[in-house]
Chains A and B, each alone.
Chain A
Amino acid sequence: EAGVVQSPRYKIIEKKQPVAFWCNPISGHNTLYWYRQNLGQGPELLIRYENEEAVDDSQLPKDRFSAERLKGVDSTLKIQPAELGDSAVYLCASSLGSAVSTNGYTFGSGTRLTVV
């Protein structure tokens, strides 16, 4: 079984340019998370989906970040325009059901974004 697949693995863009990250969760996992991990820090939650509904986007900077999960499967996270401070690793995770105590998360390998 394939794990959580993210692409691209690396992305370098100039500031003010747009960028998008893609995540394909494990088949059947209805809960999907996007986290941002700054250098030397732990992951920080950006948004959580249950199926196609964003049930917690309180930490998503909505002025420049957007996300979607059409049909409740794949998800895309977009930044427009990117700023230097957006340089980080963007991690996608998925779980079967929303109860982390039961299911835990499975993480993808992440997309490392560098804004220059």
Chain B
Amino acid sequence: QQQVKQSPQSLIVQKGGISIINCAYENTAFDYFPWYQQFPGKGPALLIAIRPDVSEKKEGRFTISFNKSAKQFSLHIMDSQPGDSATYFCAASTGNQFYFGTGTSLTVIP
């Protein structure tokens, strides 16, 4: 059973556009929600993370929106650039257990 459901599986966006990736979870015990960025041949790298006591967190062009009541969170990439082309994973954790979405392959077209 997938603890964290991620969509879409793939996404193509024009340069300068907004990329939006969505995740949903069921376990209300989750208390930490990180996003990872992975380039081909590399390991996932922490991009941005949020805890459920806030509804939004922004770091540069990357924003997490968090809806606790709906048990959903999303990653918004503003002014998307070709260098943002990568696979993005959402995750949720409780204690020391981490659960990952299946990933979204983002392609930003110049």
A, B: real partners:
no
Chain A interfacial positions (CB closer than 8 Å to B): none
Chain B interfacial positions (CB closer than 8 Å to A): none
